[in-house]
Structure 1
Amino acid sequence: MGICIDVLIVDWDHLMSAPGDDQRYAMLHDAGLSVDDDEDAWPDRSPSVGPQWFWPSPPAVGWFGKFDFGNVGSSYKDHFWAGERWEEIRAFVAPDVRSAVDRFIDPLFWDGLEYMADQDTEGAAAHVSVVLPDAPSDHLLWCPPAAISSLKLLWDSVDAELASIRQPFERYARIGLGRMNDFDAFAGLLRGWGDVIGQAQQRGWGAVGLRC
């Protein structure tokens, strides 16, 4: 069995009103379970095949939303292999696009930029740096609202040029090994994260990823 990830966007002030890490984890864990188990609120819900959002139903306080990546992305293995695929193709991607993708995925799931010898220091994306605080135990992501704004700027740059990555991916990715073996799955995972960041940014919220 591998690790899966539950991604939630949250009202940061509400979350941080809890007195400690254990209480905050319990809040997040219970929030995720509440929308998973709320069959009355989701009468038309079907087994997930694609990305979808789940929100608390009244009278629950609307302080969070849960993002389901669907068949590609709910397992953390998909994120690991997306990072592997990126390392295989990034040298063949235009520098501005490479810089934006590097800085977008690095704090979210990749964590490989510091090991890359060809970090770009020019271009708009190079001037956007996102450094996240250490995540508490059993969290795979801990992203306060201040970091969300920077990630949204990076995602806008990535989204505009995402199609340009298809050719390098199809030519240079080692698609016979592991997961994330086609470009559409890779791009879909990035778009899922873009949706998470965009929804959080609209509300002034943060984002968390729970190990499950």
Structure 2
Amino acid sequence: MIYNFEDLKEIVKSKVSIKRFNHIMAVVDMSIKLAKIYNADIEKCKIAALLHDICKEMNKEEMKKICKNNFSEDLTDEDLENDEILHPFVGAYWVEKNLKIEDIEILNAIKNHTLGNKNMTLVEKIVYIADAVEITRNYPGVEEIRNLVFKDLNEGILFEAGKKEKYLESIGKKSHKNSYAMQKSIREEIKKKN
């Protein structure tokens, strides 16, 4: 796998605001840290983290169109109205089509970085949680999640997903089916280890 990180960084920089770019680089840093702790493929984590939000600021109608045409099995009509949910799918699609990156683990890490999914690989899990706990993130409970993630990746992800679920319930929404699938899958993984 040979992708020039610096070249990709310039492409990302040209597609997002400075604030978003700073967040992306913080996710890259956290992904590297976690990859070292859990012996994951550092290069894949770096590239997926760098590209995870590449389409975050794309026009919403364009995102909806791409998702309708390519991800109808994952996304309901209600989901199509939520651009927080759309940008990871669009990002994976855009990266494959425009950057010619075909590594399925990188593409899935981009696609699943917001909702998660069942049977996520180590690279996918790292990018998912690095996005939630990168150093500039500042929300109630983030320190607790961060500390747990450094000790036990699966437990940290479950804890973060639980907090996200409670927050969504508090505003009258519920988690996406992919998030439930991720949690179930990780619980089964933990059970097998014990």
TM-score with structure 1 setting the length? 0.26
TM-score with structure 2 setting the length? 0.28
- Larger helix proportion, structure 1 or 2? 2
Higher RCO (C-alpha under 8 Å, 6+ residues apart): 1
Larger Rg: 1
